[in-house]
Amino acid sequence: MKTYRRMTYTERLTIEKLFNSGASYRSIASYLHRSVSSIHREIKRGLYDHLDGSTWLMQKHYSAQIAHEDAEYNHSAHGRPLAIGNNHAYAKSISERIQNGESPDAICGSLRKEKAWTVSTSTLYRYIDRGYIPNVTNADLPCPRCKRRYRKVRKAKRAPVGVSIELRPYEISARTSFGHWEMDCVIGKAKGKRQALLVLTERLTRYELIFKLSQKTAANVNRIVESTLSKYPQGTFRSITVDNGSEFASAYQLPLPVYYCHPFCSSERGSNENANKIIRRYFHKGKSLYHVTQAQCDAVAERMNAMHRKILDYHTAQELFDAHVNSLL
Per-residue pLDDT tens, the chain, 329 aa: give them.
Answer: 456 788 888 899 999 999 999 999 999 999 999 999 999 999 998 998 887 767 778 888 999 888 888 887 777 656 666 677 778 889 889 989 988 888 899 999 999 989 999 988 888 888 888 788 888 888 778 765 544 444 444 555 555 578 999 999 999 999 999 999 999 999 988 776 778 999 999 999 999 999 999 999 999 999 999 999 999 999 999 999 999 889 999 999 999 999 999 888 888 999 999 999 999 989 988 888 999 999 999 999 999 999 999 999 999 999 999 999 999 98
**What stretches of the chain show up as alpha helix (H) in DSSP?**
9-20, 25-32, 36-45, 64-76, 88-99, 104-113, 121-130, 170-173, 218-229, 270-282, 294-305, 317-328
Closest CA to 94 of 58, 118, 60, 59: 118
Predicted local distance difference test score (pLDDT) of residue 72: 78
Predicted local distance difference test score (pLDDT) of residue 251: 94
Alpha-carbon separation of residue 8 from 20, 35, 67, 296, 321 (angstroms)? 18, 15, 10, 55, 59
Give the DSSP letter string of 194-246. S-EEEEEEETTT--EEEEEESS--HHHHHHHHHHHHTTS-TTS-SEEEE-S-G
275 within 8 A of 206, measured Cβ to Cβ: yes
- Tell me 161's DSSP state: S
**What is the residue extent of each domain of the chain?**
9-76, 88-140, 163-328
221 within 8 A of 196, measured Cβ to Cβ: no
Query: In sequence order, what are the residues at sequence separation of 6 or more whose Cβ sits closer than 8 angstroms to the Cβ of residue 292?
Result: 188, 194, 197, 212, 283
The dihedral sign for the CA sequence 109, 175, 259, 217: positive
The radius of gyration computed from the CA coordinates of the chain, to the nearest angstrom, equals: 31
Distance CA 29, CA 23 (A): 10
Work out the angle at residue 230's Cα, subtended by the Cα atoms of residues 228 and 234, and round it to the nearest 5 degrees: 110
Distance CA 270, CA 241 (A): 11
Predicted local distance difference test score (pLDDT) of residue 153: 45
Predicted local distance difference test score (pLDDT) of residue 89: 87
Work out the angle at residue 61's Cα, subtended by the Cα atoms of residues 58 and 66, and round it to the nearest 5 degrees: 125
The dihedral sign for the CA sequence 155, 159, 162, 168: positive
| CATH number corresponding to 163-328 | 3.30.420.10
In a 3-state reduction of DSSP, which class is residue 48? Answer: strand
- Tell me 258's DSSP state: E
**285-323 burial string, b = 16+ CB within 10 Å, else e?**
eeeebeebeeebbeebbebbbebbbeebebbbbbebbee
Predicted local distance difference test score (pLDDT) of residue 260: 93
Distance CA 180, CA 223 (A): 19
Predicted local distance difference test score (pLDDT) of residue 1: 46
Distance CA 288, CA 292 (A): 8
Predicted local distance difference test score (pLDDT) of residue 267: 86
Q: What is the pTM of this model?
A: 0.67
Length of the chain: 329
